[in-house]
Structures are given as C-alpha cells and as structure tokens.
Amino acid sequence: MVTQNVVYRPGSLEEAYRLRTDTGALPLAGGTDLMVRYRKTAGLVPDPGRPVLFIGHLKDLRRVEERAEEVRIGSCTTYTELLSQKAVPEILKRCITLLASPPIRNRGTVGGNICNSSPAGDTLPVLHALECSLVLGNIRGERTVPIDRFITGPGENALSEDEILKEIVIPKAAFSGWCYRKIGTRRANALAKISFAGLYLIESGEVHDIRIAIGAVAPTVVRSREIEKTIIRIPRTSLQRSTVEMAARYRPLIRPITDQRSTTGYRAGVTLVLIEQFLTAVLQKKG
C-alpha cells in the first residue's frame, strides 16, 4: 500500500523506473528545490503528500561521458562534480560558479534545475544556447527531447508521470567565444533577475554562428533563431552601426513580470542592454 512520507531508495535505475511506474513517487535528486517547496514548519520534515523516490545516489545518473560528437551529463551529477569535469563546456561552468553557494552546489543538480523548470533556473539559458537535448526514460524505454520542447511554462514540462530525466546531451560545436551574465541582488544565494547566455563563432571576418538565450524575462527561456539568422554572415562592418537596432528586435519577446526580485521595466531595459553589449563585444573580436 502506498502511503505518504514513504521514501524509496532504489538500487538501480531499472528499479527506479519500476518504482516510479508502480507508486507514482516524486523523484528527488539533491532536494534543494523540493525541500523548500514542501517545507511547512521549522522542525518538521517537508511532506510532498506522496511517496518520494531518491535517485541522487544512482551511478547511472551521476556521470559525465565525453563522446566524439557530444558530452552526456547524468541528470543527478551535482554542480560541484561538474566543475571538475574537463568535458563540461566553460560557459556552463561559469554559470555554475554564480549559482547559489558551495553547500547548495554540493547537493543540487542540473537535472533538478531542468525538471523544476523555473523561469529563473540559471542553467536553462546556457543549455538552450548549447542546444542540448534530454534523454527521458521509463520502464519501457527512452525518448530524446530538445530542451526547448521540454520546458513548456513556469514549473511545467513534458516529463510524464512514469519518467525520469536520465541524461543531458550537449552537442559539441566550435565557438570563438561565449558570455554568461547573471543579474542578481548579490553574488551568492540570489536567484536571477535576468540571466543571459551568448555564444558565437567568427570566421573570416563574418559571424558564422550566434546564439542568444535569456532567462527570467518570459515564461520560458527566450531564444530567436529568426533574429540570430539576421546577424549571421552579414559583414561585421555593416553590423557595427546597428547593435542597438538589432537588440531592439528582441523587445517583443521580452515579457518579464514584476515580483519580489525585480520589476518589469528594470528587467526589460537591462535585457536589451545585455544583448547590445554582447553584440558589440562580438563585433569587436578579431577573427
């Protein structure tokens, strides 16, 4: 019989899939979001009102594997573990060093950040810019979903009731440089007012690839391949005159809310400045 406050600790990923199907238990990786979400009173154990499936210890979910074309990150690899992995892209490492604080990074996972699906999740713009995809598994098999089709709204995603996020797959790609900016109230333990990820490739004086992804300014991460295409392969000399105009193309996509962390006006204004600064920096690079 399934009761509240039951915690399952499976011995393998297979067992975790089976328990998830049989009991509908809620996956818990580091618990840094879940323990806060279901906290009631000081001194009482948080109670999500359904069984909990602890998966943070599973070896199959806690690994980084580098292949020829991609890097595969197990969903329960902690932030601290990712920082010591050579294969993890530098832009993701930079984002992690600005996320929370060392104790939270010792427990928190990138899989938890994705499945929590908060518009303020710091890794999300980076993972969108890197065009990562997610391997979701259940007792019957696996499916792969691009991250921009997985997160559908604040706290909403395409994970089925019987699924577990197994891996994050980051395709390898050549970039000349990257930029990650987090606007927050202070450097540690502050959720983002805005988070910004930019990647670019410059060859023979032309922008060959540019990716801009912005978090916390709309229900889901803002990225526009259409606008990016208007920047690619135009000689940098013509682009240099129009970075403000190019940044302004993002204005209709920036739909921030006012909340305890910031206001609509501040978020919208600063976002356009971040885009403009990034474009200016890209255009000044040699290549």
What is the contact surface with ligand FAD in residues (CB under 6 A)? 26-34, 36, 55, 75-76, 99-100, 104, 107-109, 111-113, 115-116, 121-122, 159, 164-165, 189, 191
Closer by beta carbon to ligand FAD, 120 or else 202 = 120
Strand-pairing partners, residue 54, are 28
Pairing verdict, β 194-203 and 177-183: antiparallel
Q: How far is the CB of 72 from ligand FAD (least distance, A)?
A: 14
Q: How far is the CB of 181 from ligand FAD (least distance, A)?
A: 14
Closer by beta carbon to ligand FAD, 71 or else 73 = 73
Give the residue from 86, 80, 87 showing the smallest Cα distance to 110: 80
Strand-pairing partners, residue 276, are none
Q: How far is the CB of 102 from ligand FAD (least distance, A)?
A: 11
Pairing verdict, β 133-138 and 52-54: unpaired
- Chain-centroid distance of CA 198 in Å reads 13
CA dihedral 153, 154, 157, 163 (to 10 degrees): -170
Closer by beta carbon to ligand FAD, 112 or else 239 = 112
Q: How far is the CB of 228 from ligand FAD (least distance, A)?
A: 24
DSSP state of 272: H
Q: How far is the CB of 163 from ligand FAD (least distance, A)?
A: 7
* Number of residues that make up the chain: 287
Strand-pairing partners, residue 138, are 141
Closer by beta carbon to ligand FAD, 29 or else 64 = 29
- 220: phi then psi, degrees, rounded to nearest 5: -135, 175
Closer by beta carbon to ligand FAD, 55 or else 214 = 55
